[in-house]
Amino acid sequence: MKPAIDVRDLVKVYGGRRAVDELTFQVPAGVVCALLGANGAGKTTTVECLEGFRIPDSGSVRVLGLDPRVDRAALMPLLGVMLQEGGSYQAATPREMVRLYARFYPDPLRPDDLLERLGLADSAGVRVRNLSGGQKQRLNLALALIGRPRVALLDEPTVGMDPQVRLATWDLIRDLRADGVTVLLTTHLMDEAERLADLVAVMDRGRLVALDSPAALLAAHRGDRLTVTTTAVFDPARLAHALGATVVREAADRWIVDVGARAAAESIARVSAWFAEAGLPLTGVSAAGGGLEEVFLRLTATDEQASA
């Protein structure tokens, strides 16, 4: 089966700098893929190439087997695009905009039902210019989904949303997946990627540095960490030497000990024993898994950060 999204050896250059550098990845149909990367990593350029808004300098991109520029007329009815800056008329209302977009598709969702689902029913008659940032974001999402797309490209879909609407949006994305829709979303919210995505693609300086499920990335890349709290003044180098670990101060009375792949229980016992032998007070020691955010920071660390 052909992938729903197929990026091969993609290169995009701006002013002599490769914003995207020979990027290759595929997203199967019916999967939620989170595209992660720091600002400037190249993810927005990659998505814009998939949307047909930018032309690759080399390589290729295909969505549902179609070239986003050459086959634009055939692809657009199948593609839902949510941009950070939407194209809504400022004098229009959400209800007017969603009903307008619905007329572009043969079998759209019911506009009022979608507005209700995204928490826009009460503000459906308010001018777009008077909406809050979170409401505008929900309207952008509604416009991307009204046509029942087979592939949805969502740029930071929950930015500015309150917690309740954010959770409702997550449920909506899960429903899209259940209906066989392929979703590629960019996000800086690691909990969002961890809870929604079947597949996580991590970009760094234009290149792909990881592509796997959240669970597999956590298993492969996360080191076990301990949080140690103490009122004692001590030399962290001595503790680091005794444990064969990295010790970093996080707060006045709190330290992070990176023990690598060793079992947390064994490491907790060794930390406790070291403080006891040194006659120093230990107010707490516990495992401190950092989740996908920790994995992301490890994968995208610069050479200087990695050796610090």
pLDDT in tens, 57-113: 999 999 999 999 999 999 999 999 998 766 789 999 999 999 999 999 999 999 999
- Confidence class of residue 199 from pLDDT cuts 50, 70 and 90? very high
Please say whether the beta carbons of 213 and 199 come within 8 A: yes
Domains, the chain, in order of start with CATH, read: 5-214 (3.40.50.300), 223-289 (3.30.70.980)
pLDDT at 302 over 90: no
Q: What is the pLDDT of residue 86?
A: 66
User: What is the value of pTM for the model shown?
Assistant: 0.79
Which residues, other chains included, contact 275 with Cβ-Cβ below 8 Å and sequence gap of 6+? 230, 232, 281, 282
> Beta strand 254-260 with 284-287: parallel, antiparallel or unpaired?
unpaired
Identity at 189, one-letter amino acid code: L
Please say whether the beta carbons of 114 and 142 come within 8 A: yes
Per DSSP, 66 falls in state: B
Which residues, other chains included, contact 242 with Cβ-Cβ below 8 Å and sequence gap of 6+? 270, 274
pLDDT at 305 over 50: no
